[in-house]
Amino acid sequence: MKWWNWVVRFVVSYVVLFVLGYIVPGFSALSMGWIAWLSLLIMVLDGVLDQLMSPEGKAGITGSMMTFVIATLITYVGTMQLQYGRVPFWGALVAGAIIGIIVNLVSRTEQKLDQQPEGQH
């Protein structure tokens, strides 16, 4: 996995959690620090498990589901540590689904670009 793939995982997680803070009740209790912390956890766990499960870096339905489950669990369990807010489970499911879809679309696009001959980029 390339270094910018790790950055994409962090940025996508951060933006999704930040935007959902304005839409979903419970997410508004997340400060920018908490959002960064949760995004970092999602990035690291998803990246490490992705490397362990598919060392050749093939994105697919397994990667999408893994990202979805990791993002959902980290978002839901991580926000249980907050004193004044708790994200509803359906909100964590929505966040996990959006993060999983976007991260894996980026991964698939990267793979397609890597498969093309050098002169066709």
pLDDT at position 46 over 60: yes
Whole-angstrom Cα distance, residue 5 to residue 51?
Answer: 12
pLDDT at residue 97 greater than cutoff 80: yes
- Does residue 82 surpass a pLDDT of 80? no
Query: How sure is the predictor about 59, in pLDDT bands with cuts at 50, 70 and 90?
Result: low
Q: What are the C-alpha distances in Å from 22 to residues 25, 45, 72, 75?
A: 8, 26, 18, 16
Domain-by-domain residue ranges, the chain? 3-107
Categorise residue 73: left if φ over 0, alpha if ψ from -120 to 50, beta otherwise.
alpha
The answer to whether the CB of 61 falls within 8 A of the CB of 108 is no
Express as a percent the part of the chain with pLDDT over 70: 86
